[in-house]
A and B are shown apart, each in its own frame.
Chain A
Amino acid sequence: MKIIVCIKQVPDTKGGVEFNPDGTLNRAAMLTIMNPDDKAGLEAALRLKDQYGAEVTVLTMGLPKAADVLQEALAMGADKAILVTDRVLGGADTWATSTTIAGAIRNLEYDLIITGRQAIDGDTAQVGPQIAEHLGLPVISYAMDIKVDEAAKKVTVQRQYDDRYHILEAQMPCLITALAELNEPRYMTPGGIFDAVKAEITTWGRADFKDVDDANLGLKGSPTKIAKASDKVRKGKGEKVTPDSPEEAVSYIVGKLNEKHAL
């Protein structure tokens, strides 16, 4: 079985974010991690590998330094790594990103593609389903559990909804988007790190995307355009008190709620 896992290097949003003058994210200036949903997707793939002996290829699109998350994935146990990077890809929205990644994946053989549900920088949850759409694959989003029947070429997935879940069966090849809740990703092993350093990362650029029109790449190929981006304006600070006793705290709160007719 061949599994492709799409992963993304994301800014660690706990550390604050920076922007370029055109409103796009200044990724170069921020601390980065492997996106948590993607890491769960990778772990799911590695468990299938443990169970069935699959070949796991990780693929990312980003700046050259996104190779870091590929190294991490290799150290966790992935077999091959592909970095999709090219100047023409800068500023891509989800349409352009999914078009590009689909173009890269067309070069590969696969039974299963796993992506994270969403990345913590954009939070869109769009790229996974859109890759499936470009490749004509069945998609199952929000996976909480994945089982594979290799002989029948079928997957059985527990798919989360707001108030329920569905147990779905799909024909492989298919694409699954993983929730961080799916599992607890493994740590890199010393041996894995050693092997990962030796492992070669394949780098693909514009010439390597199959059946992709230039008009669909990067900022120019993105239907959505940023009109404005800014730090969030939060509502003004209210009052803060440090009462001497619980009684004082209670009378303060009750007083304020009465003032606002909230009781």
Chain B
Amino acid sequence: MALEDYKGVYVYAQQVDNEISPIAFELLGKARDLAAPLETQVTAVLIGSEVKGLADRLAEYGADRVIVVDDPELKDYRTEPYAHALASVINEYKPEIMLVGATAIGRDLGPTVSARVATGLTADCTQLDIGDFPLNPLPNQEQKHNQLLMTRPAFGGNTIATIACPDNRPQMATVRPGVMQKIEPQAGRKAEVIEYNPGFTPNNRYVTIKEVVKAVSDTVDIMDAKILVSGGRGVGSPENFKILEDLAEALGGTVSCSRAVVDAGWKPKDLQVGQTGKTVRPNLYFAIGISGAIQHVAGMEESDIIVAINKDEDAPIFDVADYGVVGDLNKIVPQLTAAIKAEKAKKAAG
């Protein structure tokens, strides 16, 4: 089959408990950008049990077409029936580009499916473009146009690489959550809905789910927060996070933390910012007592305004901070909280 026969930008529309994950909307937003220069359609692939009703939402966020694979075997995510579903859709409909979220599900589904359909997969992309490969013409090598150029951080965030998949289709990428922008939903927008079922016959590769344990968390997802007050090992103790919580409350923000804090058992993993935690891009990010290891910076450097407070004037966090203050957080933070409360009261009155 010729590469040109593969057409369209496809998005794996992840759902969990029959609720579409935010990454699906982010991928649809990006897929629209990519589909424009290719003059092609955006197709969402929706896999689950009793999920057909979610198709309209995907249309509102930019899907021209929704392929629904609906089967009782697909109730909860399991590698095998989901990989069979997505690989079958790829083999049947032949997408040019297949985007999957780099979630705990997508990073399992993506590799399995890419190996099954024998194509390449670029992990955890933070930027996707349509362009030429090689980027510049080279002697003795055909330059291919309209290729998916997938950019990702590597080597602990030390480097950034742009990768292409010129000779195999689909061009597959997993995309880091929180990086791509979803479009403003258009109420009433409709997509063509196609139901497709490749048939599911359990084999040795089907695992059994004995139990599903949901993490109990009443906190705001730090990826959705507009203001984050993030603490590192420099905060000193779990008790001392109270001064950060007070600051966050005064600002109307949320507390997050570095990996060192999670490793020390001071805060749960879902508050961790960084390469092995979450990527955040709030309007305002306070890095308090965080040295700024590259793995942390990789998860927060896209924040609009970064304020760092650290007693070590050589801390690498000052290399990414817009406003760096060298000083004792224990003295500065409580006073800052009081000052912000006063400032807000003044604004509310004025």
Contact = CB atoms under 8 A, between A and B. Distances in A.
A204 interface: no
Given A169-B210, A231-B158, A262-B305, A249 B123 contact: no
A155 to B, nearest CB: 9
B158 A168 contact: no
A240 interface: yes
B213 A225 contact: no
Nearest to A263: B343
Interface in A212-262: 222-235, 237-243, 246-247, 249-254, 256-258, 260, 262
Contacts of A137: 204-205
B49 interface: no
A129 B301 contact: no
Contact of A130 (B114, B163, B309, B343): B114
Contacts of B80: 138
Interface stretch (A12-20, A48-56, A185-193, A195-203): A12-20
Interface in B191-248: 204-215, 217
A23 interface: yes
A194 interface: no
A210 to B, nearest CB: 17
A89 B318 CA distance: 41
Nearest to A14: B156
Interface residues on B, range: 35 or more
A244 B344 CA distance: 25
B88 interface: no
Residues of B contacting A: mostly: mixed
B306 interface: yes
Contacts of A142: 104, 108
Interface stretch (B30-38, B55-63, B67-75, B331-339): B331-339
Interface stretch (B90-98, B182-190, B321-329): B321-329
A138 B207 contact: yes
A235 B207 contact: no
A104 B322 CA distance: 51
A227 B133 contact: yes
A26 to B, nearest CB: 11
Interface string A65-86: 0000000000000000000000
A17 B160 CA distance: 12
Contacts of A230: 159-161
A132 B347 CA distance: 60
Nearest to A127: B111
A237 B164 contact: no
Given A134-B115, A251-B339, A237 B76 contact: no
B322 A95 contact: no
Contacts of A141: 79, 104, 107-108
A58 to B, nearest CB: 22
A179 B340 CA distance: 41
A170 B207 contact: yes
B47 interface: no
Contacts of B335: 246-247, 249-250
B165 interface: yes
B304 to A, nearest CB: 8
Nearest to B217: A163
A166 B212 contact: yes
A91 interface: no
B336 A139 contact: no
B165 A168 contact: no
B331 A139 contact: no
A94 B165 CA distance: 13
Contacts of B77: 161
Contacts of A25: 155
B149 interface: yes
18 contacts: A25-B155, A121-B156, A123-B275, A138-B206, A161-B77, A166-B209, A166-B212, A166-B213, A170-B208, A223-B120, A225-B133, A225-B165, A226-B161, A231-B160, A234-B320, A238-B306, A253-B307, A262-B284
Interface of B: 16, 76-80, 83, 103-105, 107-108, 110-112, 114-116, 118-124, 133-135, 149, 153-168, 204-215, 217, 251, 270, 275, 283-284, 294, 297, 301, 305-307, 309, 313, 318-328, 331-332, 335-336, 339-340, 343-344, 347
Given A226-B162, A232-B158, 15 more contacts: A13-B156, A17-B159, A25-B155, A124-B124, A130-B112, A139-B205, A142-B104, A162-B104, A166-B209, A227-B133, A234-B320, A238-B321, A238-B322, A242-B326, A263-B347
